Amino acid sequence: MVNQILFLGLVVALTCSIAFAFEPKPLQDFCVSDTSSSARVNGLVCKDPKLAQANDFFFSGLHLTGNTSNPVGSKVTPVTASQIPGLNTLGISIVRLDYAPWGVNPPHTHPRATEILTVLEGALHVGFVTSNPDNRLITKVLQKGDVFVFPVGLVHYQQNVGNRNAVAIAALSSQNPGVITIANAVFGSNPPISAEVLTKAFQVDKSVVDWVQSKF
């Protein structure tokens, strides 16, 4: 009997900790963000639900090809709570990804979201790396119609492995997933991380650090 109570307690504790690790579920039908409010809350302030309009839940533009004329050869078009005010508190968002031939969506992480990606056109080599100490790289080549998951918080990337443009759509489990692009955060921070720190972290000469920092 005591064992059963202990076991039940453990299950309840575990369930609660899992629930708390994710965004809280909404306590109302919706919370269309009030962009005119200056109040600071965890998320965005709701406007009066009586004033909500269809356009608060609407975005048009994911049919448009992103401009991939940039050094990495890819473009992300986000549709998060910033683009759709009605997404606020709902724990979901979507992005369109365009890739030039051999273009890369460089290693990055979403601190608040798992991502599920579907290839619409072309072929992508995708991968993510598990956390320390294993840092195991899990990769796959995807074709049109294939779906792949990037677990929350893990560093991941995609590369177009073809001589034509590629397109993907990805859904994310947060209305505000956040993006940390590793190279930009580490070598392009403002102000820069000191070269002393980066030379030790990457085990390279200062000239290498200076050179990489100059790229960002």
Ligand X SMILES: *[C@@H]1O[C@H](CO)[C@@H](O)[C@H](O)[C@H]1NC(C)=O
Binding site for ligand X (CB under 6 A): 67, 69
Question: Smaller CB distance to ligand X: residue 71 or 133?
Answer: 71
Nearest-approach distance from CB 58 to ligand X, in angstroms: 24
Asked if 25 and 89 count as a contact pair (C-beta separation under 8 A), the reply is: no
Nearest-approach distance from CB 75 to ligand X, in angstroms: 9
Nearest-approach distance from CB 73 to ligand X, in angstroms: 11
Phi, psi of 4 (to 5 degrees): -65, -40
The Cα 17–Cα 170 span in angstroms is: 27
Residue 63 known to bind ligand: no
Residue 125 known to bind ligand: no
**DSSP at 184:** H
CB proximity list for 19: less than 8 A, separation 6 or greater: none
Question: Smaller CB distance to ligand X: residue 66 or 85?
Answer: 66
Residue 121 known to bind ligand: no
Question: Smaller CB distance to ligand X: residue 33 or 160?
Answer: 160
Sign of CA dihedral 208, 210, 215, 216: positive
Nearest-approach distance from CB 64 to ligand X, in angstroms: 10
Which residue has the CB atom at the shortest distance from ligand X? 67
Question: Smaller CB distance to ligand X: residue 17 or 69?
Answer: 69
CB proximity list for 87: less than 8 A, separation 6 or greater: 57, 79, 80, 81, 93, 175
CA 201 to chain centre: 25
Feature table: binding site for Mn(2+): 108, 110, 115, 156
Feature table: binding site for oxalate: 105, 110, 115
Feature table: binding site: 105, 108, 110, 115, 156
